[in-house]
Amino acid sequence: MVQEALKFAKIPRPILIRGERGTGKELMARFIHASSDRCDHPYVVVNCAAFQEELFVAEMFGHEKGAFTGATRERKGKLELAHGGTLFLDEVANMTRSAQEKLLRVIEYQKFERVGGSDTLEVDVRVIAATNCPLEDMMSKGDFLPDLYDRLCFAELQLPPLRKRREDIPHLIEHFVRLLHIEIPNLEPTHFTETAIKELQAYHWPGNIRQLKNVIERLYVSDEDNVIHAAELPLEITTVEPLGGNFKDRVRAFEQSLLLGALKDAKGNQREAAKNLGLSYDQLRHYYKKYNLGELLA
Query: Has domain 2-159 been given CATH number 1.20.140.10?
Result: no
The rounded distance, in Å, linking the Cα atoms of 162 and 207 is 9
Q: Which of 166, 197, 211, 148 is nearest to 20 (CA)?
A: 211
- Pick the range with the lowest mean pLDDT from 12-21, 88-97, 241-250, 277-286: 241-250
CATH topology of domain 163-296: Helicase, Ruva Protein; domain 3 (1.10.8)
What are the tens digits of pLDDT across the range 18-72? Answer: 999 999 999 899 999 999 999 999 999 999 988 887 788 888 998 888 778 777 7
pLDDT at 238 (0 to 100): 67
How confident is the prediction for the chain on average, in pLDDT?
88
Q: Which residues of 157-195 are buried (b: 16+ CB within 10 A; e: fewer)?
A: bebebbeeeeebbeebbeebbeebeeeeeeeeebebbeb
The full set of domain ranges for the chain reads: 2-159, 163-296
Higher pLDDT, 217 or 244: 217
Whole-prediction pTM? 0.71
